[in-house]
């Protein structure tokens, strides 16, 4: 019997499935998460997986939160321990008063368990061996059997799961009945042999609304479709590959000419990242909207071309799905660690536009907007996702598109304008915003052609190594970057109920845990204004936010406080006023971590208001 009081909660707990990868658990676990959503309860599933295809440990964490806290929480209330390799560690990670669910076919000694948790055993292997003869079926149905048992244990609506099975195997209808049978085998066993329900349970509610459950990579790819991307060149790399995969799938559905069955898109799997960005730049130069998707190591390889895009002023879009670095790092773990390598990518003086979506909804929106910005600014636009946003399903606001929206193709001089005698200088700043006009190749027989190069040139694209024209051009590029400040998504600010001297800056996937942490920090008696940065270059309101507070915390998921460095550098801020809050172990940052770290700092500030140790 458990020595701790069992955790008793409705619609507010964390279930963690410990599996072996390649065992078919992923689809069963996803069905579990989706069933919670269908019951109207907000849910946040996260896949924790190795860089491997078969045989290594994998976990699937489902946070259930009627209060709508969708960031990772930390800790596990109900552990579904299906992997003998990680059994001991998994048990150790259960919260006191939590529950262990395990396969009790082979009896385990009491020493294997903890005194402060409840233990629920279902002889899954024995049941499956009895019911099925095919070894593959025994394995696959085991996943459904445990979902069935959980239906009884936490009062998950079994009809919802049946419906999901029907949807999942639509078209392979003969698989529906056996799966439903397996579901009921598990459920019946639990109802007959176990004390149901547990003190952790679900209850139907209506807190999901019209939200959708989708991965950020899939959403970003859909954004690229809506944003008018026609050329995608990419090289496989975790965790970004599903951007190109999803784009391929969406295009096959939405971009095939109904009359000719021909493709209104071109997707090339390149030989490496250098070739993929090269193709994107070639296509952008020639007037198509083009993108690539990659991760940190790919960004490193693309540096030279990114500098060319900056200096020769060619539109390009890069989706960077960040993973833990440096080097190969942890390919299947999340971080926000490419901020500096993207912001200042390539040799020489360069600066690049970065967009920071917080979730799939913004991945879609920024994914589409990036193409307008790339054409308008004639440069590379980075959409900075991370593994947590990109590869996990997130409960998100539904996608919206304004059908009257036209694409902004930027300053492109036409054959008619050239014919009418309009002056064309490729690098001439006619409007004072630093953005010159360009022409697409093949526009006019005698006017408007120019030579594109990465070498220095004058306003009419003629090669020069003279100091004056070089500086003139570099200054114009700075002006153009200033223009970008008002074109990119603005930061969003939310002030505390009471006036406060303290603020917090954060971005990207830190948003959901930050939203939760703010309540926890308030509960500790502190007030904190917050601002979510959504793009670089920083809007002037970032400067004023820092100026308006004595100290501002900068929360980010890397070791070296890269965003803080960027703010200090670009906004000319005294570094002492920006307190870094850093989480970089490869797991998504949690509300518990933020609340504790910031709370401790604020308490220290109360004691010594003149100094801060960071």
Partner 1 sequence: MTYLAKPKFQHPDLPKNELGYTHRDYEGSVSTLCAGCGHDSITASIIQACFELSIEPHRVAKISGIGCSSKTPTYFLGNSHGFNSVHGRMPSVLTGANLANRDLIYLGVSGDGDSASIGFGQFAHALRRGVNMTYIVENNGVYGLTKGQFSATADRGSKSKRGVTNTDNSIDLAAMALQLGASFVARSFSGDKQQLVPIIRAAIAHEGAAFIDIISPCVAFNNHAGSTKSFDFVREHNESVNRLDFISSRMPIEVQYEPGTVEIVEQHDGSRLALRKLQADYDVHDRTAAQGFLQQHAAKGQIVTGLLYMDKTPSDLHAHLHTVDVPLNVLDAKDLCPGQATLDKVNASLR
Residues 6+ apart with CB under 8 A from 123: 103, 104, 105
Q: Which of residues 102-131 bind partner 1 (CB under 8 A)?
A: none
**Distance in Å, CB of 314 to partner 1, minimum:** 9
Q: How far apart are CA 406 and CA 50, in angstroms?
A: 42
The token pair at 375 is 């054409």
Which of 17, 226, 234, 382: binder of partner 1 (CB under 8 A)? Answer: 226
| Ranges within 64-83 binding partner 1 (CB under 8 A) | none
Report, in Å, the least distance between residue 203 CB and partner 1: 19
Number of residues that bind partner 1 (CB under 8 A): 76
Q: Contact with partner 1 (CB under 8 A): which of 54, 111, 133, 260?
A: 260
Judged by DSSP in three states, 211 sits in coil
Closer of 133 and 260 to partner 1 (Cβ): 260
233 is a contact residue toward partner 1 (CB under 8 A): yes
Minimum distance from CB of 220 to partner 1 (Å)?
14
Among 70, 220, 225, 342, binds partner 1 (CB under 8 A): 225
Minimum CB distance to partner 1 smaller for 118 or for 361: 361
**Which residue, among 177, 171, 190, has the nearest Cα to 99 in the 3D structure?**
190
The conformational region for residue 570 under phi > 0 = left, psi -120 to 50 = alpha, else beta, is alpha
User: Which of 9, 184, 207, 211 is the binder for partner 1 (CB under 8 A)?
Assistant: 211
Chain centre distance of CA 43:
16
Tokens of residue 35, six digits:
């069933």
How far from chain centre, in Å, is Cα 558? 15
Query: How many other CB atoms are there within 10 angstroms of residue 482's CB atom?
Result: 12
By beta-carbon proximity to partner 1, the closer residue of 225 and 477 is 225
Q: Which CB sits closer to partner 1, 451 or 474? A: 451
282 binds partner 1 (CB under 8 A): yes
According to DSSP, the residues that pair with 268 across neighbouring strands are 233
- Tell me the closest approach of the beta carbon of residue 217 to partner 1, in angstroms: 14
Q: Closer CB to partner 1, residue 226 or residue 545?
A: 226
| Min CB(393)–partner 1 separation in Å | 9
**CB of residue 428 to partner 1, shortest distance in Å:** 16
Rounded-to-integer distance, Cα 268 and Cα 241, Å: 13
Q: Using the rule CB under 8 A, which residue among 89, 92, 205, 451 binds partner 1?
A: 451
Out of 134, 195, 206, 403, the residue judged to bind partner 1 by CB under 8 A: 403
Q: Candidates 80-88, 437-445, 508-516, 536-544 — which segment interacts with partner 1 by CB under 8 A?
A: 437-445
Binding of residue 439 to partner 1 (CB under 8 A): yes
Contact between 53 and 21 (Cβ < 8 Å): yes
Q: Is residue 428 close enough to count as binding partner 1 by CB under 8 A?
A: no
Q: Which of 249, 444, 501, 592 binds partner 1 (CB under 8 A)?
A: 444
Q: Which two tokens stand for residue 608?
A: 């010594």
**Which residues share a beta bridge with 319?**
293, 383
Task: Specify the residue, 407 or 604, whose C-beta has the smaller distance to partner 1.
Answer: 407
In the region spanning residues 498 to 537, those forming contacts with partner 1, defined by CB under 8 A, are none
The residue (of 200 and 275) whose beta carbon lies closer to partner 1 is 275
Stretch that binds partner 1, among 15-23, 402-410, 540-548, 594-602 (CB under 8 A): 402-410
CA distance 558 to 536: 17
Residue with tokens 């942490």: 517
Residue 517 CA to residue 436 CA, distance in Å, equals 45
Residue 56 or 212: the one with the smaller Cβ distance to partner 1 is 212
Check residue 452 for interaction with partner 1 (CB under 8 A): yes
Determine, following the binding rule CB under 8 A, whether residue 401 of this chain makes contact with partner 1. yes
Out of 4, 10, 56, 266, point to the residue binding partner 1 (CB under 8 A): 266
Examine residue 463 and tell whether it contacts partner 1 (CB under 8 A). yes
Unique residue bearing structure tokens 């959504």: 534
Q: Which of 50, 399, 495, 500 binds partner 1 (CB under 8 A)?
A: 399
27 binds partner 1 (CB under 8 A): no
Three-state secondary-structure class, residue 87: helix
Identify the three-state secondary structure at position 7: coil
> Contact, 232 vs 265, CB < 8 A?
yes
Distance of closest approach, residue 460 Cβ to partner 1, in angstroms: 9
Interaction of residue 166 with partner 1, rule CB under 8 A: no
> Nearest distance from residue 215's CB to partner 1, in Å?
10
Residue from 175, 267, 496, 573 in contact with partner 1 (CB under 8 A): 267
Strands (E), 42-184: 43-48, 57-65, 76-81, 94-103, 118-122
Contact status: 268 vs partner 1 (CB under 8 A)? yes
Q: Are 529 and 549 within 8 A, CB to CB? A: yes
Instruction: Give me 352's structure tokens.
Output: 């690049």
* Binds partner 1 by CB under 8 A, chosen from 56, 108, 176, 274: 274
Interface region with partner 1, contact rule CB under 8 A, candidates 23-31, 128-136, 283-291, 513-521: 283-291
Q: Is 231 in the site for partner 1 (CB under 8 A)?
A: yes
Give the Cα separation of 553 and 504 in Å (integer): 4
Spatial separation of the C-alpha atoms in residues 14 and 42, rounded to whole Å: 12
Q: With respect to partner 1, which residue has the nearer C-beta, 111 or 261?
A: 261
In 3D space, the residue among 35, 385, 42, 75 whose CA is nearest the CA of residue 215 turns out to be: 385
Which among 153, 95, 144 has a CA at the least distance from the CA of 120?
153
CB 316 within 8 A of CB 281: yes
Closest approach of partner 1 to the CB of residue 62, in Å: 17
Within residues 286-325, the interface with partner 1 by CB under 8 A covers 286-288, 290, 304-305, 308
The alpha carbon dihedral of 103, 104, 109, 111 has a sign of positive
Token match 């879009």: residue? Answer: 317
- Closest distance of CB 403 from partner 1, Å: 5
List the one residue from 55, 135, 166, 398 that touches partner 1 (CB under 8 A).
Answer: 398
Rounded Cα–Cα distance for residues 309 and 179 (Å): 53
**Could you give the string, one character per residue 35-54, with x where binding to partner 1 holds by CB under 8 A and - elsewhere?**
--xx----------------
| 55, two tokens | 């045989």
**Binder among 7, 94, 160, 214 for partner 1 (CB under 8 A):** 214
In terms of Cβ atoms closer than 10 Å to its own Cβ (0-12, 13-18, 19+), residue 184 is middle
* C-beta neighbour count of 556 within 10 angstroms: 27
């Amino acid at each position: 019997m458990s020595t701790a009081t069992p955790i008793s909660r409705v619609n507010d707990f964390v279930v963690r499935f410990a599996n072996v990868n390649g065992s078919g658990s992923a689809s069963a676990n996803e069905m579990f998460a989706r069933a919670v959503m269908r019951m109207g309860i907000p849910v946040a599933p996260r896949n924790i997986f190795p860089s491997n295809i078969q045989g290594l440990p994998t976990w699937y964490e489902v946070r259930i939160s009627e209060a709508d806290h969708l960031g990772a929480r930390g800790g596990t209330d109900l552990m579904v321990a299906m992997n003998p390799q990680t059994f001991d560690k998994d048990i150790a990670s259960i919260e006191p008063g939590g529950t262990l669910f395990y396969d009790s076919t082979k009896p385990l000694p009491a020493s294997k368990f903890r005194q402060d948790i409840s233990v629920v055993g279902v002889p899954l292997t024995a049941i499956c061996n009895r019911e099925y003869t095919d070894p593959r079926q025994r394995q696959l149905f085991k996943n459904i059997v445990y979902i069935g048992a959980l239906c009884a244990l936490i009062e998950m609506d079994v009809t919802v799961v049946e419906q999901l099975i029907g949807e999942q195997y639509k078209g392979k209808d003969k698989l529906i009945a056996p799966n439903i049978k397996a579901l009921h085998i598990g459920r019946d066993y639990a109802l007959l042999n176990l004390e149901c329900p547990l003190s952790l349970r679900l209850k139907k509610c209506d807190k999901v609304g019209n939200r959708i459950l989708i991965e950020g990579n899939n959403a970003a790819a859909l954004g690229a479709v809506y944003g008018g991307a026609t050329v995608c060149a990419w090289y496989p790399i975790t965790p970004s590959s599903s951007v190109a995969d999803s784009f391929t799938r969406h295009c096959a559905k939405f971009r095939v000419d109904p009359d000719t069955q021909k493709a209104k898109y071109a997707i090339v799997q390149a030989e490496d990242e250098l070739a993929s960005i090269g193709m994107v730049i070639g296509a952008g130069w020639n007037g198509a909207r083009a993108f690539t998707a990659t991760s940190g190591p790919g960004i490193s390889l693309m540096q030279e071309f990114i500098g060319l895009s900056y200096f020769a002023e060619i539109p390009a879009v890069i989706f960077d799905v960040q993973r833990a670095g440096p080097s190969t790092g942890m390919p299947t773990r999340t971080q926000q660690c490419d901020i500096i390598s993207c912001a200042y990518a390539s040799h020489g003086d360069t600066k690049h536009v970065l967009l920071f979506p917080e979730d799939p909804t913004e991945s879609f929106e920024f994914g589409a907007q990036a193409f307008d910005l790339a054409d308008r600014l004639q440069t590379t636009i980075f959409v900075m996702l991370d593994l947590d946003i990109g590869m996990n399903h997130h409960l998100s606001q539904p996608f919206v598109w304004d059908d009257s929206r036209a694409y902004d193709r930027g300053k492109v001089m036409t054959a008619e304008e050239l014919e009418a005698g309009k002056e064309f200088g490729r690098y001439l700043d006619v409007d004072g915003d630093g953005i010159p006009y360009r022409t697409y190749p093949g526009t006019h027989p005698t006017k408007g052609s120019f030579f594109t190069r990465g070498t220095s040139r004058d306003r009419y694209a003629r090669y020069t190594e003279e100091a004056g024209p070089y500086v003139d051009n570099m200054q114009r590029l700075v002006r153009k970057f200033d223009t970008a400040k008002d074109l990119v998504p603005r930061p969003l600010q939310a002030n505390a109920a009471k006036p406060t001297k303290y603020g917090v800056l954060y971005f990207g996937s830190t948003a959901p845990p930050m939203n939760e942490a703010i309540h926890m920090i308030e509960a500790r008696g502190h007030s904190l204004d917050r601002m979510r940065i959504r793009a670089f270059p920083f809007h002037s309101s970032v400067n004023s936010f820092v100026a308006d507070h004595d100290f501002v915390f900068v929360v980010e998921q890397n070791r070296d406080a890269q965003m803080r460095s960027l703010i200090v550098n670009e906004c000319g801020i005294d570094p002492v006023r920006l307190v870094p809050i850093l989480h970089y172990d490869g797991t998504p940052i949690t509300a518990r971590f933020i609340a504790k770290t910031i709370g401790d700092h604020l308490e220290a500030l109360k004691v010594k208001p003149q100094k801060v140790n960071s």
